[in-house]
């Protein structure tokens, strides 16, 4: 049996590297680490997990979706959750759905929104996760 020690990185396809890098750093709160010389990939830090933006041809999400379960979630501190949502709104980002889910695997208030290519992202005030003892 393989013992997974964590998520090393995840990738999101983007049509415009500069626009998506700015969105992920200024709106989502990631830190820029490195851009490849050909500017086809950008490496960002998301609180200790590497997020890689990968250049792809548009459209990335040809059919607008409110996620259908497919999205990327970013945990925010409990005392910063409301400010994180206000920050999205201040940057003109529409929150497409909010809920406070309890009694499941990943619990807590959450809000969904889209990146510039329509990929669904989430801010969650992660109050509990059944994967931790």
Convert the pLDDT of each residue in 77-87 to its tens digit. Answer: 999 999 999 99
Phi, psi at residue 78, to the nearest 5°? -50, -45
The β-bridge relationship of strands 128-129 and 120-124 is unpaired
The alpha-helical segments, DSSP class H, found in the chain are 17-22, 81-90
The whole model's pTM is what?
0.94
What confidence score (pLDDT) does residue 68 get? 74
Q: Which residues in the chain come in under a pLDDT of 70?
A: 67, 133
């Amino acid at each position: 049996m393989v013992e997974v020690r964590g998520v090393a990185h995840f990738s999101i396809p983007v049509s415009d590297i500069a626009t998506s890098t700015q969105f992920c750093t200024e709106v989502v709160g990631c830190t820029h680490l490195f851009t490849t010389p050909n500017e086809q990939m950008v490496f960002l830090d998301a609180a200790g997990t590497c997020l890689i933006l990968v250049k792809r041809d548009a459209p990335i999400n040809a059919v607008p979706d409110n996620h259908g379960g497919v999205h990327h979630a970013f945990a925010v501190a409990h005392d910063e959750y409301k400010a994180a949502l206000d920050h999205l709104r201040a940057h003109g980002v529409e929150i497409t759905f909010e809920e406070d889910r309890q009694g499941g695997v990943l619990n807590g208030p959450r809000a969904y929104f889209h990146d510039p290519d329509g990929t669904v992202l989430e801010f969650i005030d992660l109050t509990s996760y059944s994967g931790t003892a």
